[in-house]
Amino acid sequence: MSAVLDTEVDLDPVRIIAGEVARLRGVSLAEMLSRSQSRTVWQPRREAMHLAKTITGYSFRRIGGTFSRDHATVLVAIDKVEADIEADARYGRELNEMAAQIAALLPATYGQTPAARSRLTQAITDAAATLTTSIEVADQAHRAAVSAAHDEFAKRMARLGQRIDEQSRQTAALTQRLDQSHASSSSKDSSHD
């Protein structure tokens, strides 16, 4: 991990990009953010502005705010870097590699335009709402199923209770007939003696 990310508390992606470009170009972040017009500072500053626009998609005004520059200065800086890239393909490849290295340090949403982040946020919100609705529907279905199972169990228990009552009545009637039959056969046996 970079020294900038280890020591910076500010997680502004433009500052992180500026700090990484400063580190890679051998200047300090303070120099990058200063008013210095030294070539050793302004060229990396332009690159940082270009990479900030490329990686974050932030407005020129937003990027300029980090560097204490107006949006026109950022626009000119980016145009100059793009002209240098057109003139020197190797320089373009170098900046692309630098962009990939720096972008890897940032959360994925920094590489998206505000509109894309807004759509992502909305998609996440919609997915959460859909999930919540699905959970509620599943919960209602579960409650209905449990209630139906409980009702069915109660009906079966009532039918079982009725069968047991019927069996008890039949057993009682059979026992009574057996007792009567036994009593009548006992009285016949005693009359024969």
Neighbours of 24 (CB within 10 A): 16
Q: Give yes or no for residue 35 having a pLDDT over 60.
A: yes
Range of 1-10, 44-53, 92-101, 171-180 with top mean pLDDT: 44-53
In the block, tokens 């998206």 appear at: 112
Q: Give yes or no for residue 190 having a pLDDT over 80.
A: no
Residue 68 pLDDT grade (very low, low, confident, very high; cuts 50, 70, 90):
very high
What's the rounded mean pLDDT across residues 51-55?
89
Instruction: Give the rounded percent of residues in the chain with a pLDDT score beyond 90.
Output: 41
Rounded Cα–Cα distance for residues 112 and 58 (Å): 9
Comparing 122 with 66, the larger pLDDT belongs to 66
Q: Give yes or no for residue 43 having a pLDDT over 90.
A: yes
The encoded tokens of residue 123 equal 């998609």
Helices 71-87, 39-56: crossing angle, 10 deg rounding: 90
The structural domains of the chain, with segments of one domain joined by +, span 3-111, 114-193
Rounded Cα–Cα distance for residues 8 and 181 (Å): 104
What's the rounded mean pLDDT across residues 42-60?
92
Q: Give yes or no for residue 54 having a pLDDT over 60.
A: yes
Rounded Cα–Cα distance for residues 73 and 102 (Å): 23
- What's the pLDDT score for residue 8? 39
- What's the pLDDT score for residue 56? 83
**Cβ distance 100 to 52 under 8 Å?**
no
- What's the pLDDT score for residue 122? 67
Rounded Cα–Cα distance for residues 137 and 131 (Å): 10
The encoded tokens of residue 19 equal 């700090």
Rounded Cα–Cα distance for residues 45 and 182 (Å): 117
Torsion angles phi and psi, residue 27, rounded to 5: -125, 165
- What's the pLDDT score for residue 71? 94
Q: What is the pTM of this model?
A: 0.54
Q: Give yes or no for residue 112 having a pLDDT over 80.
A: no
Cα dihedral value 90, 80, 41, 27, nearest 10: -40
**CATH match for 3-111 among 1.10.1750.10, 3.40.50.720, 3.30.428.10, 1.10.340.30:** 1.10.1750.10
Under 8 Å CB-to-CB from 50, ≥6 apart: which residues?
77, 78, 81, 82, 95
Q: Give yes or no for residue 21 having a pLDDT over 90.
A: yes
**Cβ distance 31 to 41 under 8 Å?**
yes
Range of 42-51, 132-141, 164-173 with top mean pLDDT: 42-51
Residue 113 pLDDT grade (very low, low, confident, very high; cuts 50, 70, 90):
low
**Roughly how many angstroms between the first and final C-alpha of the chain, as a whole number?**
116
Q: Give yes or no for residue 106 having a pLDDT over 70.
A: yes
CA neighbor of 123 nearest in space, from 109, 135, 137: 109
